[in-house]
Structure 1
Amino acid sequence: MLVTALFLVYKFGRLVANGHEARAFRNADRVWDAERALHLPGEGTIQQLLMHGEPLIRAANTYYAAVHFPATIAFLGWLYWRRPAHYVWSRRVLALLTGAALALHLLMPLAPPRMLAATGLVDTARVYGPSVYGATPEADSMANQFAAMPSLHFGWALMVAIGLIAASRSRWRVLWLLHPLLTLLVIVGTANHYWFDALAAAVLLGLALLAVRAPGHGRAAPPPLPRQRDTTALPAGVLR
């Protein structure tokens, strides 16, 4: 039910985006200029690393297209069966994050860097495949291509890592952070997102985590056990 509701809101966002393409490109220019003013590393640096070989860039495109939803569903499914309390917590956090992200998509339409000529970046999915988007963004009825900020790819991946670290006991659980790290490199290297998109997702996720109580937090301490009276027999005449 929750997934269906969020999907319907997303589809509504796609309809609202129609007619706001010019504003999406103006916002993209502002984001790109702000990143350069802050001297952030160019997204093109990451893309050049991926462009060293066609198999590598195809793998990145496939990761972007095929890992996002299945990884999140598998994460929630595992929690549902093995860690019910963490499942409820993670589901609420993801719902809050997604709702906030969809609201921001409506308030600030943003063209991704692959559409912005000033970036000089290649639309790797269109050139090398596979691609999940229609050839004409304005006519794409399946996805809102002007919803770059925040990146739900990164936000969900980061929550998957945080949730698994919180719910598992392995000494290697910190390695789950490789998932959002790889996702970050993929979304930037394929020119689907700016650095700011990932930063915005991380901020929204942080706020969602603050708003939803994690399992085991806030529980009342158990009452102290009553002190038992020492009934050991003492020699006659000795006072306790």
Structure 2
Amino acid sequence: MNARTEPAEAEAEPETPARPPLIREFLLVAGLFLVYKLGRQLATGHTGDAFHNARRVWHLERAVHLPHENAVQSALLHGDTLARVANTYYATVHFPATLAFLVWLYVRRPAHYVWARRVLAAVTTAALVLPFTFPLAPPRMLAGTGLVDTAQLYGPSVYGPPSSDHLSNQFAAMPSLHFGWALMVAVGLIAATRSHWRWLWLLHPLITLLVIVGTANHYWLDSIVATAMLAVALALIRRPRRTAGTAGLGVGRPVTREPVLVGAGR
């Protein structure tokens, strides 16, 4: 019998995810950042409640034996340089790192981009509710803790006096979106890539945590609440499955199949 060739049974190939329209995504992401800034502004005021809640958080952390924020700050205050580096990290890394993360996913991993954008939007929206219900002064403002405002002492500082600061709400310490976004950047990059080194992205939220605590801008509890919010969002918003693209083969790259010889050798 003559040999004949037949294609192997078709296998399901990963389809290239449709990349969302660029203009629409630009407007959505810009809107997310705008809501983040304006939403915190709407929650200004409630100074008395903010300081009352700050004392409650401080005493709760001591009651459950969380480490003292002073230990982290003491490490920063061994020299002016380390304190300035921490202040600079706090002031300059938060937004650019998150934006770079979203841009990279949009270009290289469209499906993961949509997932990450939805998670960030959900966490940010939920986080904007807390300042209305639980205003919180940061530890740098709380007397009797032994903490200092490193940004005011060594610079650079992103905040002015609370009474005249019209660009941010300094009584919205909980949750820490600095930490929540940094953790999502790490989670998103770990989920979207396959490199053995991808777990090093966890250094970003770890450094962010030490910075926000060491500069006395946040309590440990602010980061714990942000982590819980992120965990809920990740549980509710399904992550896309890995495809050939996330395995290093290129998104949507066709898989080569050899023809099968049927009847050969009979």
TM-score with structure 2 setting the length? 0.79
C-alpha separation in 2, matches of 1:206 and 1:46: 26
Summarize the Cα distance change of 1:123–1:117 in structure 2 as closer, same or farther, 3 Å threshold: same
C-alpha separation in 1, matches of 2:151 and 2:44: 22
| Residue in structure 1 matching 2:128, options 79, 102, 117 | 102
Query: Which has the higher mean CA deviation after the structures are superposed, 8-17 or 78-87?
Result: 8-17
Summarize the Cα distance change of 1:158–1:12 in structure 2 as closer, same or farther, 3 Å threshold: closer
**2:42 corresponds to:** 15
Q: Deviations over 1:213-237 (max 9, x none)?
A: 10028xxxxxxxxxxxx999x9xxx
C-alpha displacement of 1:9: 5.6
**2:91 corresponds to:** 65
8 Å Cα contact 2:140/2:216 also seen in 1: yes
C-alpha displacement of 1:119: 1.3
Normalized per residue, the structure richer in helix is 1
8 Å Cα contact 2:123/2:230 also seen in 1: yes
C-alpha separation in 2, matches of 1:211 and 1:163: 15
Summarize the Cα distance change of 1:28–1:13 in structure 2 as closer, same or farther, 3 Å threshold: same
8 Å Cα contact 2:140/2:149 also seen in 1: yes
C-alpha separation in 1, matches of 2:49 and 2:29: 29
C-alpha separation in 2, matches of 1:121 and 1:190: 9
8 Å Cα contact 2:43/2:169 also seen in 1: no
The structure with higher relative contact order (CA 8 Å, sep 6+) is 2
**1:52 corresponds to:** 78
**Structure 2: gaps spanning 5 or more residues:** 1-26, 243-261
C-alpha displacement of 1:195: 0.2
C-alpha separation in 1, matches of 2:85 and 2:36: 30
**1:84 corresponds to:** 110
Paired residue secondary structure (1:164): helix
Q: Give the percent of matched residue pairs that are identical in Structure 1 and Structure 2.
A: 64
8 Å Cα contact 2:183/2:202 also seen in 1: yes
The count of residues paired between Structure 1 and Structure 2 equals 220
C-alpha displacement of 1:139: 2.0
C-alpha separation in 2, matches of 1:4 and 1:170: 30
RMSD: 1.8
Does structure 1 residue 201 correspond to structure 2 residue 226?
Answer: yes
Letter in 1 for 2:41: R
Letter in 1 for 2:212: I
C-alpha separation in 2, matches of 1:12 and 1:182: 26
Letter in 1 for 2:220: W
8 Å Cα contact 1:155/1:198 also seen in 2: yes
Paired residue secondary structure (2:43): helix
Q: Deviations over 1:106-157 (max 9, x none)?
A: 21110000000121101000110000011x1122100110010000000000
C-alpha separation in 2, matches of 1:106 and 1:183: 25
C-alpha separation in 1, matches of 2:38 and 2:152: 23
Q: Deviations over 1:84-107 (max 9, x none)?
A: 000000000000000000111221
C-alpha separation in 1, matches of 2:163 and 2:136: 13
TM-score with structure 1 setting the length? 0.87
Paired residue secondary structure (1:117): coil
Does structure 1 residue 179 correspond to structure 2 residue 204?
Answer: yes
**Structure 1: gaps spanning 5 or more residues:** 218-229, 235-240
8 Å Cα contact 1:21/1:138 also seen in 2: no
**2:68 corresponds to:** 42
C-alpha displacement of 1:16: 3.2
**1:116 corresponds to:** 142
**1:167 corresponds to:** 192
Q: Deviations over 1:40-60 (max 9, x none)?
A: 110000000111111001000
**2:53 corresponds to:** 27
Summarize the Cα distance change of 1:9–1:178 in structure 2 as closer, same or farther, 3 Å threshold: closer
**2:167 corresponds to:** 142
